[in-house]
Amino acid sequence: MVDFTSFDSLSIAFGLTMIAGLSTGIGSAIAFLNRSASPRFLSIALGFSAGVMIYVSMVEILQEARESVAKLYGDKLGMMTAVLSFFAGILIAAVIDRLVPSYENPHEFSLVEEIAVPVDELKNKKLMRMGLFSAVAIAIHNFPEGIATFTSALLDPRLGITITVAIAIHNIPEGIVISVPIYQATGSRKKAFIYSFLSGLAEPLGALIGYIILFSFLNDLVFGILFAVVAGIMVFISLDELLPLAIEFGEHHLSIYGLIAGMMVMAFSLLFMM
């Protein structure tokens, strides 16, 4: 049984969630240093992130969810609960995605080159609005990701590290999307970075609120359901956001190569850690 109240467990889980969320700041730095942001590299990196998240969700997290519930109710009910919770997670992610209008939706990225145009070609007000709405929308999407990272790290720190890396990679382009239009509109790197940074805080905030709400209910059943829901959310993010964006940034084959590489790295890391 996992000790959900251990200070060490909580601090590690919360720290990893902070790292994942605040990686949007890395995107800001990339945007300032190189606005082209190497689309081919981003394509491979995003595909890699998707591969890690899909593999770990289907092979590791879903299995952990089934085993957690099976401790109380047996294998059959454990599997049924895990499967239903998995698709519930997909539904939750899809509903959140639909509630955000496409213009403000971080899943509807524009290429960095398309955003970073001279200010005199677009009104400052429109650019600022684009950046602010992107920050709000990304914060909304980051909230359940924070719960996913925190929950995973709380149960298994090594798994939490893997998920943190995968989510951090896909948060980097989100930081670019926020910072570039705000910087173009205001000329202030400080403002652009702050808004990007604040959007990333939604992940540790999601972890904190999720833990406060669920603290008194945490047991093997609740943890199993949460884990399966997390797996569903991560698979939806990978298929709806990461892969389409990876393909848009570069060649189709590059994103698939990255996807396969991510799955291979995750598979061998799990084998070596057994």
Identify the sign of the CA torsion 212, 16, 162, 144. Answer: positive
CA distance 112 to 50: 20
Residue 70 token pair: 């099976």
Instruction: Centre a 10 Å sphere on the Cβ of residue 145 and count the other Cβ atoms it contains.
Output: 26
Give the three-class secondary structure for 178. Answer: helix
- CA 44 distance to own-chain centroid: 16
Q: pLDDT value at position 115?
A: 47
Q: pLDDT value at position 79?
A: 93
Model-level pTM? 0.67
Q: Give the residue among 272, 273, 265, 270 at the shortest CA–CA distance from 44.
A: 265
CA distance 243 to 193: 26
Q: Which residue has the tokens 């980097």?
A: 172
Q: pLDDT value at position 200?
A: 85
Q: pLDDT value at position 111?
A: 47
Q: pLDDT value at position 88?
A: 95
Q: Number of helices and strands (H, E) in the chain?
A: 13, 0
H or E element in which residue 260 lies: helix 252-273
Q: pLDDT value at position 7?
A: 67
Residues in the chain with pLDDT values less than 50: 1, 36, 103-104, 106-107, 109, 111-112, 114-122
For 51, 172, 267, the CA distances from 261, given in Å and listed in that order, are 7, 19, 10
List, in sequence order, every beta strand (DSSP E) within 62-163.
Answer: none
